[in-house]
A and B are shown apart, each in its own frame.
Chain A
Amino acid sequence: MAGAVMLARLLRTPALAETLAPHQWTGVLSAARAEQLLGALAYRLTGMDLPAAATTILNDARALALETRRGALWEAEVVRRALAPLDVPLLLLKGTAFAAAGLSAGQGRMIGDLDLLVPRDALEAVEAALLAAGWEWAKAERYDQLYYRRWMHELPPLIHRDRDRALDVHHTILPPTARITPDAAAIVAAAVPLGNGLSVPCAEDMIVHAALHLLADGDLSGGLRNLWDIDRLLHDHATPDFWRSLAARAVLHGATVPVARALRLAAALFGTAVPDARARRGDAWFVRRLLARDGWGRETRPMTRLAFYLRSHWIRMPAPLLARHLAVKTWVRVVPARS
Chain B
Amino acid sequence: MRHALSLRVGPIGFRIGSEWSAPVAQLASLYAGYPAAEVAEATVRLAPPRPWRRMLRPTVALAGDHMLPDAAPLPLAHAVLAAEMAMNLQVALGHRRHLLLHASAVERDGRAIVMTGESGAGKSTLATLLGARGWRFMGDEFVLLDLATGWVHAFPRLVSLKNEAIAEVAAQVPGARFGPLLTGTPKGTIRHLVPDAAAVAAMDVPAMPALLLFPRYGAAAGVRGVGAGEAFVRLTQASTNYVALGEAGFDVLTRFARDVPRVAIDYPDTQAALAQVEALWRAL
Q: Give the interface of A toward B (CB within 8 A).
A: 22, 25-26, 29-30, 33-34, 51-54, 56-57, 60, 63-64, 67, 70-71, 296-298
Nearest-neighbour CB distance to chain A for B36, whole angstroms, equals 9
By the criterion CB–CB under 8 Å, are A25 and B39 in contact?
yes
By the criterion CB–CB under 8 Å, are A298 and B41 in contact?
no
Residue from A22, A60, A298 within 8 A of B39 (CB atoms): A22
Known: A22-B39, A53-B41. 13 other contacts (CB 8 A): A22-B38, A26-B6, A26-B15, A26-B39, A29-B39, A30-B43, A33-B65, A51-B38, A60-B96, A67-B244, A67-B246, A296-B17, A297-B43
Report if B245 contacts A (CB, 8 A).
yes
**A67-B1 contact, Cβ under 8 Å, with A33-B65, A57-B41:** no
Bound: A63/B41 CA distance, A:
15
B residues less than 8 Å from A296 (CB atoms): 1, 17, 43, 45
Bound: A6/B85 CA distance, A:
30
Residue from B15, B17, B38, B43 within 8 A of A52 (CB atoms): B38
By the criterion CB–CB under 8 Å, are A297 and B65 in contact?
yes
Nearest-neighbour CB distance to chain B for A109, whole angstroms, equals 16
Report if B233 contacts A (CB, 8 A).
no
A residues less than 8 Å from B41 (CB atoms): 29, 53, 56-57
Nearest-neighbour CB distance to chain A for B60, whole angstroms, equals 15
Report, nearest first, the 8 A-B pairs whose CB atoms are least far apart. Answer: A53-B39, A53-B38, A25-B39, A26-B40, A67-B246, A30-B43, A33-B65, A54-B39
B residues less than 8 Å from A52 (CB atoms): 38
B residues less than 8 Å from A64 (CB atoms): 96, 244
Bound: A296/B18 CA distance, A:
11
Taken residue by residue from 235 to 250, chain B's Cβ proximity to chain A (1 for < 8 Å, 0 otherwise) reads as: 0000000001110100
A residues less than 8 Å from B43 (CB atoms): 26, 30, 296-297
Using a Cβ–Cβ cut-off of 8 Å, how many residues does chain B contribute to the interface with A? 23
Residue from B6, B45, B96 within 8 A of A298 (CB atoms): B45
Nearest-neighbour CB distance to chain A for B68, whole angstroms, equals 15
15 contacts between A and B (CB under 8 A): A26-B37, A26-B39, A29-B39, A29-B40, A30-B15, A30-B43, A30-B65, A51-B38, A51-B39, A53-B38, A57-B41, A64-B244, A296-B1, A296-B45, A297-B65
Bound: A34/B95 CA distance, A:
15
Taken residue by residue from 50 to 87, chain B's Cβ proximity to chain A (1 for < 8 Å, 0 otherwise) reads as: 00000000000000111000000000000000000000
By the criterion CB–CB under 8 Å, are A34 and B246 in contact?
no
A residues less than 8 Å from B95 (CB atoms): 60
Residue from A33, A34, A53, A70 within 8 A of B13 (CB atoms): A53
Taken residue by residue from 246 to 257, chain B's Cβ proximity to chain A (1 for < 8 Å, 0 otherwise) reads as: 101000000000
Bound: A33/B65 CA distance, A:
7
**Total of A-B residue pairs, C-beta within 8 Å:** 53
By the criterion CB–CB under 8 Å, are A56 and B244 in contact?
no
B residues less than 8 Å from A298 (CB atoms): 45
Taken residue by residue from 14 to 28, chain B's Cβ proximity to chain A (1 for < 8 Å, 0 otherwise) reads as: 010100000000000
By the criterion CB–CB under 8 Å, are B246 and A70 in contact?
yes
Bound: A264/B212 CA distance, A:
59
B residues less than 8 Å from A22 (CB atoms): 38-39
Report if B97 contacts A (CB, 8 A).
yes
By the criterion CB–CB under 8 Å, are B38 and A67 in contact?
no
A residues less than 8 Å from B45 (CB atoms): 296-298
Nearest-neighbour CB distance to chain B for A90, whole angstroms, equals 25
Q: Which residue of chain B lies nearest to A25 when distances are taken between CB atoms in the complex?
A: B39
Nearest-neighbour CB distance to chain B for A16, whole angstroms, equals 16
Nearest-neighbour CB distance to chain A for B150, whole angstroms, equals 17
Bound: A56/B94 CA distance, A:
14
B residues less than 8 Å from A29 (CB atoms): 39-41
By the criterion CB–CB under 8 Å, are B65 and A56 in contact?
no
Nearest-neighbour CB distance to chain A for B247, whole angstroms, equals 8
Q: Which residue of chain A lies nearest to B246 when distances are taken between CB atoms in the complex?
A: A67
Taken residue by residue from 137 to 165, chain B's Cβ proximity to chain A (1 for < 8 Å, 0 otherwise) reads as: 00000000000000000000000000000
Bound: A30/B37 CA distance, A:
14
B residues less than 8 Å from A57 (CB atoms): 39, 41
Nearest-neighbour CB distance to chain A for B232, whole angstroms, equals 20
Bound: A249/B65 CA distance, A:
39
Bound: A64/B147 CA distance, A:
14
A residues less than 8 Å from B94 (CB atoms): 33
Bound: A34/B38 CA distance, A:
21
Bound: A56/B147 CA distance, A:
14
Bound: A40/B246 CA distance, A:
20
By the criterion CB–CB under 8 Å, are A53 and B37 in contact?
yes
Nearest-neighbour CB distance to chain A for B74, whole angstroms, equals 19
Bound: A297/B6 CA distance, A:
16
A residues less than 8 Å from B64 (CB atoms): 297
Q: Which residue of chain B lies nearest to A70 when distances are taken between CB atoms in the complex?
A: B246
Q: Which residue of chain A lies nearest to B66 when distances are taken between CB atoms in the complex?
A: A33
B residues less than 8 Å from A63 (CB atoms): 96, 248
Bound: A57/B40 CA distance, A:
9
Bound: A29/B94 CA distance, A:
12
A residues less than 8 Å from B96 (CB atoms): 60, 63-64
Bound: A227/B66 CA distance, A:
23
Residue from B65, B244, B245 within 8 A of A34 (CB atoms): B65
Bound: A168/B64 CA distance, A:
28
Bound: A34/B63 CA distance, A:
12
